[in-house]
Amino acid sequence: MSDNILYTNAERFEQDVLNSDLPVVLDYFSEDCAPCAALAPMFERLAERYGNRLRFVKILRQANRALAERYGVKSSPTVMFFKDGREVGSRLSGYIKKPELRKAIEDVVGADQLPAEKPVVNCDVLILGGGPAGLTAAIYTGRAKLNVILLDEGLPGGQAANTYHIANYPGTDGVVRGKDLMEGMLKQAVSFGVKVEDFKEVLEVDLTGSTKVVTTEDTIYHARAVIVATGAQPRKLPAAGEAEWRGRGVHYCATCDGAMYEGKNLIVVGGGNSAVEEAVYLTRFASKVTIVHEFDHLQASKTAQDEAFDNEKIDFVWGCHVVEVNGEGHLTGLTVKDLKTGEHRFVPADGVFVYIGTQPETTILQGQMEITPQGYIMADDNMKTSLPGVFAAGDVRNKTVRQVVTAAGDGAVAAVQAERYLAESQ
């Protein structure tokens, strides 16, 4: 437990938050919540950096439900800002990234003064991203006695570290905790001399030359080769009202937020494995779950489909695209458009859970290499991109199967090819 973070409850809320002499950033968190676990170390690190200008406070949502309901908090984690006894700034919820939280903090207290001159650090291989692809690449390049640096925006492990159960990973009993698997990979990479630098925000890249240049908030890295393994994040619902209702009725984690909808009517948007499996999971609490999907069939596995079709609590709305999230005081449902007729209709619900795929983390790479319209990096079977000395691995790469094991395989191939590239370019 960090000395820079204050834990409060409903009884002390007025004293600790509303009457604070400093602005407050408040994290409503839950136990057994993967996005909350991902946010926790980031919250601590930012508390060290901004603690003299902002009070960092955490409150357990499950133990303070009445207070959470008073402020309309329906998602874990939800981050709120208070100043002079009232809420200010923007709320954040779900899988929160460090740049997103840092910007929200600086909107309240002002930006940090960045160093005028940044040190330059040289390496053989720079790996961007510390998920299973990046960590596997680090293990292989480190074992090859190369000078390797791995940068990660948060803590290494990626989405896999926040997945409680990973099934079918080779060499396990069938199910392994994501955190345990990723900690083992990280430990192995470090044992081979890889330098791991976490909570690094990449501000600018130039991968076009023989020396690759990557700039973060405090360091400039020069590398002879780069492996991009930045992964992907859950895709937000592209509908009017999503931002307004995110964390107040629109959710991206059924495990985190499903229990609060006991006896309620829910919608799940999507038709893949995650959508269908989570819809089935939500029937433990909800009286009814409606799957809204833009196609006339599901893309989930046969097993998952059979379980959903056999569940009497699950209904389906086929061939419809979500155009708006509706509510007044509380979420009331979705407006959907029939893709065949063009007609709009209202689907009532008390909450919405979204599983419509992932968004690759490639914004900063646009214009430097060949990237699909969906944002995925084009790379061949050897993980080579359109730029010499730049390789892509894992979920960020344009491919059809995205699993932890395939990400690790990509990382191994990228590492071997990077080693060969360096040997040939000497």
Report pLDDT for 164: 64
Round to whole Å and give the CA distance between 66 and 81: 19
Q: Please tell me the pTM assigned to this model.
A: 0.81
First to last CA, the chain: 48
pLDDT of residue 1: 53
Domain count, the chain: 3
Q: Are residues 295 and 262 in the same domain?
A: yes
Compute how many other C-beta atoms are within 10 angstroms of the C-beta atom of residue 79: 23
Residue 323 maps to which CATH number?
A: 3.50.50.60
Q: What's the number of CA atoms in the CB half-sphere (13 Å) around residue 100?
A: 13
Q: Which of 16, 27, 198, 257 is catalytic?
A: 257
Rounded CA-CA distance 28/7 in Å is: 10
Whether 215 and 115 have beta carbons less than 8 Å apart is answered as no
According to DSSP H, which parts of 13-164 are helical?
13, 34-50, 65-70, 98-109, 132-143, 158-161
- 114 located within any domain: no
Q: Is there a single domain that holds both residue 186 and residue 217?
A: yes
Query: For residue 152, is it within any domain?
Result: yes
Query: 85 and 126 share a domain?
Result: no
262 and 207, same domain (yes or no): no
Dihedral (C-alpha) 382, 387, 160, 106: value to the nearest 10 degrees? 180
Instruction: Give the pLDDT of residue 193.
Output: 97
Taking a C-beta distance cutoff of 8 angstroms, is the pair 8, 59 a contact?
Answer: yes
Quote the domain boundaries for residue 404. Answer: 120-233+358-424
The type of residue at 95 is Y
CA distance 158 to 129: 8
CATH of the domain at 83: 3.40.30.10
Q: Which of 33, 253, 395, 410 is labelled catalytic?
A: 253
SS3 136: helix
Among residues 36, 256, 350, 410, the one annotated as catalytic is 256
Question: Would you call 256 a catalytic residue per the annotation?
Answer: yes
Find out whether 291 and 268 touch, Cβ atoms under 8 Å: yes
Q: What is the CB neighbour count within 10 angstroms for residue 409?
A: 18
φ/ψ of 156, rounded to 5, equals -55, 145
Mean pLDDT per 10-residue segment, the chain (426 residues)? 85 95 94 83 91 94 91 88 92 86 92 80 97 97 97 84 74 82 94 95 93 94 97 89 86 83 96 92 96 95 94 97 92 96 96 91 91 94 96 93 90 98 90
If we measure between CA atoms, which residue out of 136, 131, 211, 152 comes closest to residue 390?
Answer: 211
Domain boundary among 354, 388, 407: 354
95 in the same domain as 147: no
Output the CA angle 354-357-362, nearest 5 degrees.
Answer: 125
Q: Which pair of tokens denotes residue 182?
A: 């990723």
> In 3D, which of 397, 265, 257 has the Cα closest to residue 331?
265
User: Which residues are CB-contacts of 69 (< 8 A; sequence separation ≥ 6)?
Assistant: none
Are 342 and 215 a contacting pair, CB within 8 Å?
Answer: no
Same domain, 228 and 363: yes
